[in-house]
Amino acid sequence: MSTQTERRRRSDGERSRRTILLTAARLATVEGLDGLTIGRLAAATGMSKSGLFAHFGSKEELQLATIGAAEEIFAEDVLRPALEAEGLERVRALSERFLSHVGRNVFPGGCFFASAAAELDTRPGPVRERVVAVQRQWMDLFEGAIRTAQERRELDPSVDPAQLTFELNALLGEANGLYLLSGDPGAFDMARRGIADRLERAAA
Amino acid sequence: MSTQTERRRRSDGERSRRTILLTAARLATVEGLDGLTIGRLAAATGMSKSGLFAHFGSKEELQLATIGAAEEIFAEDVLRPALEAEGLERVRALSERFLSHVGRNVFPGGCFFASAAAELDTRPGPVRERVVAVQRQWMDLFEGAIRTAQERRELDPSVDPAQLTFELNALLGEANGLYLLSGDPGAFDMARRGIADRLERAAA
pLDDT in tens, B31-82: 899 888 889 999 998 889 998 888 888 889 999 999 999 999 999 999 999 9
Taking the Cβ of residue B203 and every Cβ of chain A, the question of whether any pair is shorter than 8 Å is answered with no
| Cα–Cα distance for residue pair A185/B34, rounded to 1 Å | 27
**Could you tell me how far CA B129 lies from the centroid of its own chain?**
15
In angstroms, what CA-CA distances link A33 with A128, A180, B53, B65, B127? 10, 18, 29, 26, 20
pLDDT in tens, B176-186: 999 999 999 99
User: Angle A59-74/A38-45 helices, nearest 10 degrees?
Assistant: 60
Tally of CB atoms within 10 A around A182: 14
Q: How close A169 gets to chain B, by Cα (Å)? A: 7
Confidence band, pLDDT 50/70/90 cuts, at residue A123: confident
What count of CB pairs under 8 Å joins A to B?
101
Q: Is the pLDDT of residue B136 over 90?
A: yes
Q: Are A59 and A32 in contact (CB under 8 A)?
A: no
Q: How close A86 gets to chain B, by Cα (Å)? A: 25
Q: How close B91 gets to chain A, by Cα (Å)? A: 18
Quick one: CA torsion of B46, B49, B55, B56, rounded to 10 degrees?
120
Q: What is the pLDDT of residue A6?
A: 67
Confidence band, pLDDT 50/70/90 cuts, at residue A2: low
pLDDT in tens, B142-159: 999 999 999 999 999 999
Whether the pTM exceeds 0.90: the reply is: yes
Residue A203 three-state SS: strand
| Cα–Cα distance for residue pair A108/A129, rounded to 1 Å | 23
107-126 of A, contacting B, C-beta below 8 A: 108-110, 114-115, 117-119, 121-123
Among the listed residues A84, A96, A90, A87, the one whose alpha carbon sits nearest the alpha carbon of residue A204: A87
Q: Are A167 and A148 in contact (CB under 8 A)?
A: no
Backbone torsions φ then ψ of B155, nearest 5 degrees: -125, 150
Q: Is the pLDDT of residue B1 over 60?
A: no
| Cα–Cα distance for residue pair B58/A103, rounded to 1 Å | 35
Confidence band, pLDDT 50/70/90 cuts, at residue B3: low
| Cα–Cα distance for residue pair B112/A198, rounded to 1 Å | 29
Inter-chain CB proximity B194 and A29 less than 8 Å: no
Taking the Cβ of residue A35 and every Cβ of chain B, the question of whether any pair is shorter than 8 Å is answered with yes
Residue B204 three-state SS: coil
Q: How long a stretch of residues is chain B?
A: 204
Q: Are A177 and B121 in contact (CB under 8 A)?
A: yes
| Cα–Cα distance for residue pair A177/B170, rounded to 1 Å | 10
Among the listed residues B48, B43, B51, the one whose alpha carbon sits nearest the alpha carbon of residue B23: B43
| Cα–Cα distance for residue pair A32/B125, rounded to 1 Å | 17
Backbone torsions φ then ψ of B203, nearest 5 degrees: -65, 145
- Residues of chain A found within 8 Å of residue B119, distances taken between Cβ atoms: 32, 118-119
The ipTM assigned to this model is: 0.91
| Cα–Cα distance for residue pair A66/A80, rounded to 1 Å | 20
Identify the residue among A99, A111, A119, A181 best suited for mutation to test binding to B, counting B beta carbons within 10 A and taking the highest: A181
What residue of A is the nearest CA neighbor of B194?
A167
Q: Is the pLDDT of residue A47 over 70?
A: yes
Listed in sequence order, the residues at least 6 apart from A104 whose beta carbon sits closer than 8 Å to its beta carbon are none
